[in-house]
Structure 1
Amino acid sequence: MKRVLIISPYFPPVNAADMHRVRTSLPYFEEFDWSAEVVAVDTRYSDMGQDDLLLQSLPPTIKVHKVKALNKGLTSKLGLGSIALRSLWYYRLYVNQLLKREKFDLIYFSTTQFPVCVLGAYWKRKFGVPYVIDMQDPWHSEYYRDKPKSQRPPKYWFSYRLNKYMEPMALKKAEGLIAVSDQYITDLKNRYPQIKDIHAATITFGMFAPDMDIAAAHEREFENLLDTARINIVYVGRGGADMHKAITPVFKALANGMRTDAGFFSRFKFYFIGTSYAPAGQGKPSIMPLAESFGLATAVTEITDRISYYRSLATLLQADALFVPGSDDAKYTASKIYPYLLARKPILAIFNKQSSAIGVLKETGINTVYNYEDISEQDIHGFLYALQTSPNKTISLNTDALNAHSAQTKTGLQCALFNQAIGQHA
């Protein structure tokens, strides 16, 4: 059986979005003749929240190596809080020793903590081990160059220049590339002609049904964040100004409805939960200012603090319906749609018309998915009226389509790429 060493700085019980590909693939790697081990940063050095229930989803035999990182309290004084930069030296030391002792056929970087990926070229040169990079998000991006300073990520000046320097160091020597969007791969191959012929595959995150079983089993342990006297429509995930185009049609339709039939439309409440990546209590609302501009302060609640992963899933199960807004970035693909589908609640989804999420949702049987250029007020009002007439509704989905997007299927696609990558290297 071939061996893959997975580099994932965040790993359970840390509750970080970028480790879910690895976590939900681990139960299936051996089915496709790959034995996996993970190298993660010890949770003592993590700057993210934790959810111990995540450990229940891991195969009991999985081997997880832990590395140290510099203390964030010290490095933040220099403006360096990234776990990738804080752990880079320790990753180098630890994996050097591991590769001296043991043989691995492939190294797989699956993380949005991209600076660690530069070690791939170093380990390939030193030990002859090929590597694959998983581009879950863009690394170096021009998206924010023309955006107002208020919409740019923290420390954008520094991160833009660092990413522009480090990305080619990692990409040019890679044997394989996985991405959640076709456009990510196209952009990278256009940017770096050296990789135009490497094996690449677009593979979204997989749908992992056991997560819903864990959430349902522990649902009563979580405080209900919702107003049980209202009809609750829930979104859990990051916010940001790039989602305003998808959210604005809903707020506009709701505000107009309140003016014409306040008795009906005041029954609905929209929740946006976990919208900021900032530490608890320090997040800045990015959705409420938009809601307030439409006079919807009492119809919308934004909770900037992130909540634990399984509490997020439990909240989806407690909701009457779900709302999934997408970014105005055409390259954005919402892997988060899979938990929404597994909750089997009515879904209202609005994306950029080029987003791959639209096709996935329609394949599975969701007919209330739109792009923000074409959605009408009548579409939104129709969704709300249907909720009122069919409360506590459970939706039916296309089983074949769900299986095509399962974590098991997606793991098989990753392993096929691994096989191509080591064949190319040989």
Structure 2
Amino acid sequence: MKKVIIVSPHFPPSNLAAVHRSRLFAKHLPEFGWEPIIVTVDEAYYEEALDPNLVKLLPASLRIEKVAASSTKNIRLIGDIGIRGFRQMLKRILFLCSSEKIDFLYIPIPSNFAALLGPIISRKTGIPYGIDYIDPWVHRWPGTEKKISKAYGSMKLGEWLEPLAVKKVSLITGVAPGYYEAVLERNPHLKNKVVTASMPYGGEAEDHLMVERLGLKPYLFKKEPGTFDFVYAGAMLPKAYKPLEEVLKVLAANLKHFENIRIHFIGSGYSPNDAQSYNIKALASKYGLWESVIFEYPKRIPYLEVLTHLNASDGAFIIGSTEAHYTPSKVYQAVLSQKPVFAVLHQASSACKVIESTGAGLTLTFDGEAGLDKIGKFLLNKWTSFLAFRETFDASQINQKAFDAYSAKNVTSILADALAKAISNKPS
């Protein structure tokens, strides 16, 4: 089997969402002729709360190389794990490359700084490398318009560092094409010289089976007779608040049509370890919906406990971003929960196709910020359709064959094909 080193500074038991990208690739790559070797920072150096149950989802045979990092316990000068563990990861990777045959180096980002390992390793060893864009590296987000700010500084640093990271890259992948297309525009020398591929996060049905095996029970809300509980699981993107506000406006103005509906936002806070870091509360209070229709549990809870609450809900609620490229990974777990899905998404988001092709729910689409008024115009009609949909909904009607295209195994097959093209230097 060919060997690929996957650089994943955070890895289970880290409870950050990005760890699942590397976890699922590592699980399925051996089926396609690749032996993955994870290079990560030891969890003793993580700042976020750990989730020991995540380790139970890893293959017993998976090879994991853990390194030390600079600590933040006494004084926190730098938080980014990619910087704190950079020197140690570099040393370990070079050792692996010198002691055995490594065919490829693959670096999912964030941490964005870890991408700089690629050109260094390639220059020293000749081993080709690839970068996987879980999130865009260089882009504008709220706060970057202020030139004297941390956000602006981070954006400018990214503009300077990204060209160095991708200068000799052999493979660029992303959750969707929109996550890396701008990279090719900014670095035109890469066109026709680099292999590109897009793979969504994908869903893993065995994760839900683990919930059953562990006997996990929901604890954030209790089912009450006559209520319909939606779960929104995960962080809120900065550009998702405007679509959400349009939804809340309609809810507040038409409460009689949304009787007994409760929407639970889980892990949506601005600080993953802070139970008081509310992001939704102020907006819900503005429209008189707080703790009557809208509930928020800001602190990030363990992944399998998120699935537990999804499985205990009556439906999954998904709100998208005004950015066309955004493809919420939560859509795959929502479908696998086998509960009806109600989603408000950018019309270009690939999540729309996931929901529609599987028959798992209904979507209300809009076209960026300019099309937000469509939410207000059509939400009530779409909700009426959803009420009729859920009355007849049965989990057995979900098109599993259609969902197979979004399974973690199928997604990994796309990566394996891209890796093969990259090492043979055959750009697509």
What is the TM-score with the length of structure 1 in the denominator?
Answer: 0.91
Answer yes or no: is the 8 Å Cα contact 2:201–2:408 preserved in 1: yes
| One-letter amino acid of the structure 2 residue matched with residue 11 of structure 1 | F
- Which one of 313, 322, 326 corresponds to residue 316 of structure 2? 322
Answer yes or no: is the 8 Å Cα contact 1:275–1:286 preserved in 2: yes
1:396 Cα shift? 2.2
- Compare 410-419 and 286-295 and name the one that shifted more: 286-295
Describe how 1:327-346 pairs up with structure 2 within 5 A. Answer: 327-346=321-340
Answer yes or no: is the 8 Å Cα contact 2:136–2:180 preserved in 1: no
Corresponding residue number in structure 2 for 1:21: 21
Q: 1:248 to 1:379 in 2, by over 3 A?
A: farther
Corresponding residue number in structure 1 for 2:171: 176
Corresponding residue number in structure 2 for 1:36: 36
| One-letter amino acid of the structure 2 residue matched with residue 270 of structure 1 | I
Answer yes or no: is the 8 Å Cα contact 2:96–2:102 preserved in 1: no
Corresponding residue number in structure 2 for 1:200: 196
Give the number of equivalent residue pairs: 416
Answer yes or no: is the 8 Å Cα contact 1:135–1:184 preserved in 2: yes
Is residue 110 of structure 2 the alignment partner of residue 112 of structure 1? yes
SS at match of 1:368: strand
Corresponding residue number in structure 2 for 1:306: 300
Q: Distance in 2 between matches of 1:37 and 1:322?
A: 35
Describe how 1:245-324 pairs up with structure 2 within 5 A. Answer: 245-258=242-255, 261=256, 265-281=258-274, 284-297=277-290, 298-324=292-318
Describe how 1:127-142 pairs up with structure 2 within 5 A. Answer: 127-142=125-140
| One-letter amino acid of the structure 2 residue matched with residue 172 of structure 1 | K
CA deviation map 1:167-214 (0-9, x unaligned): 111111110011112122321111001211211011111211100111
- Which one of 379, 385, 389 corresponds to residue 377 of structure 1? 379
Q: Distance in 2 between matches of 1:295 and 1:284?
A: 20
Corresponding residue number in structure 2 for 1:101: 99
| One-letter amino acid of the structure 2 residue matched with residue 205 of structure 1 | Y
Q: Distance in 2 between matches of 1:194 and 1:145?
A: 31
Corresponding residue number in structure 2 for 1:405: 406
CA deviation map 1:270-310 (0-9, x unaligned): 11110125142265322222211211122211111101000
1:351 Cα shift? 1.0
1:155 Cα shift? 2.9
Corresponding residue number in structure 1 for 2:233: 236
Corresponding residue number in structure 2 for 1:223: 219
1:92 Cα shift? 1.5
CA deviation map 1:248-291 (0-9, x unaligned): 34322321222xx3xx7341111111012514226532222221
1:144 Cα shift? 3.8
| One-letter amino acid of the structure 2 residue matched with residue 420 of structure 1 | K
| One-letter amino acid of the structure 1 residue matched with residue 196 of structure 2 | A
CA deviation map 1:318-371 (0-9, x unaligned): 111110001111221112210000001011101112212112221111451111
Q: Distance in 1 between matches of 2:121 and 2:336?
A: 39
Q: 1:122 to 1:306 in 2, by over 3 A?
A: same
Answer yes or no: is the 8 Å Cα contact 2:345–2:364 preserved in 1: yes
Is residue 211 of structure 2 the alignment partner of residue 212 of structure 1? no
Q: Distance in 1 between matches of 2:251 and 2:259?
A: 9
SS at match of 1:290: helix
Corresponding residue number in structure 1 for 2:68: 68
Answer yes or no: is the 8 Å Cα contact 1:333–1:356 preserved in 2: yes
Corresponding residue number in structure 2 for 1:8: 8
| One-letter amino acid of the structure 1 residue matched with residue 49 of structure 2 | G
Answer yes or no: is the 8 Å Cα contact 1:69–1:87 preserved in 2: yes
Q: 1:362 to 1:425 in 2, by over 3 A?
A: closer
Answer yes or no: is the 8 Å Cα contact 1:176–1:199 preserved in 2: yes
What is the TM-score with the length of structure 2 in the denominator?
Answer: 0.90
Answer yes or no: is the 8 Å Cα contact 2:364–2:379 preserved in 1: no
Q: Distance in 1 between matches of 2:245 and 2:272?
A: 27
| One-letter amino acid of the structure 1 residue matched with residue 200 of structure 2 | T
Q: Distance in 2 between matches of 1:104 and 1:339?
A: 33
Q: 1:185 to 1:160 in 2, by over 3 A?
A: closer
Q: Distance in 1 between matches of 2:31 and 2:272?
A: 39
Answer yes or no: is the 8 Å Cα contact 2:338–2:360 preserved in 1: no
SS at match of 1:129: coil
Answer yes or no: is the 8 Å Cα contact 2:340–2:361 preserved in 1: no
For structure 1, the 5+ residue unaligned runs are none
Corresponding residue number in structure 2 for 1:414: 415
Answer yes or no: is the 8 Å Cα contact 2:105–2:127 preserved in 1: yes
- Which one of 144, 154, 160 corresponds to residue 159 of structure 1? 154
RMSD across aligned C-alpha pairs, in angstroms? 2.4
1:90 Cα shift? 1.2
Q: Distance in 1 between matches of 2:388 and 2:356?
A: 18
For structure 2, the 5+ residue unaligned runs are none
SS at match of 2:102: coil
| One-letter amino acid of the structure 1 residue matched with residue 2 of structure 2 | K
Answer yes or no: is the 8 Å Cα contact 2:176–2:199 preserved in 1: yes
SS at match of 1:120: helix
CA deviation map 1:206-250 (0-9, x unaligned): 211100111233344552434534321110111244212332343
Corresponding residue number in structure 1 for 2:121: 123
SS at match of 2:73: helix
Q: Sequence identity of aligned pairs in percent? A: 29
1:118 Cα shift? 0.3
1:385 Cα shift? 3.8
Q: Distance in 1 between matches of 2:9 and 2:20?
A: 12
